[in-house]
Each structure stands twice: as structure tokens, then as C-alpha cells.
Chain A
Amino acid sequence: GAVVSQHPSWVICKSGTSVKIECRSLDFQATTMFWYRQFPKQSLMLMATSNEGSKATYEQGVEKDKFLINHASLTLSTLTVTSAHPEDSSFYICSASSGGIQETQYFGPGTRLLVL
């Protein structure tokens, strides 16, 4: 149980285009989803937290107009990188939790984005 998927696993795009990444909880309802960014050989940096049906809460320094997050259902959240630039190239990982202080975050396999 507690499986989280991400799609696509790899994406290459041209500078200036927008890219959408999907995160799905396959066997549980995720009241909260998280988006992380990971640079090579570094730890995970939380970008934003989203609750189903609410606006996402962004961490300090993360541009909310650049990284659009939608959590329209209890099993799906999307991250759209708008007008992507080479510096946005990174590994993006989502996680999902069914809520409750003692619940666990379950992570997706990640999406590697390369902006040319």
C-alpha cells in the first residue's frame, strides 16, 4: 500500500516552455501533497505544500507564479513549471500524506526535468 506515482519520469523541454508534472496517490486518499526539489548530491528542499481544494502554501524563496501547484482531487496534484529556464533543471519529487500528525509522507519516484 501507500504508492505514489509521478508522470513523466523524464522530461526535456526548450527554454520558455511550460512543463506539467503529475503526482498521484494510487491506493490512498492524499489530503496533503508536497513538492520537493533536489539538486545533484543534495538533500530535498520543500517547495510547497498543498491541501486538496485549497491554495498551496509555498516555502520562502519559491516563486508561486513560476511553480503553479494544483491539488484538485484527493489523488492528484500537479506542478507546472511555467516559462522554464535552464536553471529550473532539477529533480522534482512529490510526496503524499493521508493526514494526521502521525501519518507518514510517501514519496513518488521523481521527475527529472532538463531545460535546454
Chain B
Amino acid sequence: AQSVTQPDIHITVSEGASLELRCNYSYGATPYLFWYVQSPGQGLQLLLKYFSGDTLVQGIKGFEAEFKRSQSSFNLRKPSVHWSDAAEYFCAVGTASKLTFGTGTRLQVTL
């Protein structure tokens, strides 16, 4: 069975600081991995995805994520956080026919 763990429920960073959100997965085959962001009361927006190839994936809004098979991780990073990045971030594993989401990490940005 596939599963996703996001160990951090809530993270607070200062604007301009770097960010790393953790994601660990369990999947029986080659994983397809995703990061989505959800603003309050909104649906999910795709930030980036990994299917194969280069393990460092670039996404929108200056985000990137690195797939590390040996650690079963797909952590999301951003070098300099903006106040508008405050939102809920979800990591997901699976395919287009079945996605399993983590429980999410709420990011708070202080000015």
C-alpha cells in the first residue's frame, strides 16, 4: 500500500528565510511524486511533480524538490520565502488514477 508522511504539521519561517518541507513516502514501484499547495478555502494547485529523470525538480513560484530514493524522500525547498507562500502544502504519491496525500504542513510566514 502506498503512503505519505509529512512529519511537520506546522512550520513558521521569517520572510526571506529558506524553507524545507519534508515528505517521506512508501510505494511499491517507481513512485510518481507531487507537491500541491492549498490556500485557505481554495482547491489545490500543483507546484511540481517527479516522474523520472533528474532527481532535482523545478516547480512554479520558485519551489524545487529533490527525490532521494535511498531515503524515500521528496522534500520541498525554497531559498527565500515570501509572505504570500503562507498556505498548506501537501505531498502526494501515486499516479493519475490514484493519489495518496500526506496530512499536510501548514506554513506560516512572519514578517
Contacts and interface: CB of A to CB of B under 8 A. Distances in A.
B96 A108 contact: no
A109 B41 CA distance: 8
A110 B102 contact: no
Interface residues of B, number: 22
A42 interface: yes
Contacts of A112: 41
A93 interface: yes
Interface of B: 32, 34, 36, 41-46, 49, 51, 90, 95-99, 101-104, 106
Contact of B46 (A49, A100, A106, A108): A106
Given A4-B43, A91-B41, 20 more contacts: A6-B43, A32-B96, A32-B97, A42-B104, A43-B101, A46-B98, A49-B97, A49-B98, A93-B44, A100-B96, A103-B96, A104-B34, A104-B96, A105-B99, A106-B46, A107-B36, A109-B42, A109-B43, A110-B41, A112-B41
Contacts of B51: 102
A105 B45 CA distance: 10
B32 to A, nearest CB: 7
12 contacts: A32-B96, A41-B106, A43-B101, A44-B101, A49-B97, A101-B32, A101-B96, A102-B51, A104-B46, A105-B99, A110-B41, A112-B41
Contacts of B45: 107
Given A43-B103, A110-B41, A104 B49 contact: yes
A97 interface: yes
Interface in A27-86: 32, 34, 41-44, 46, 49
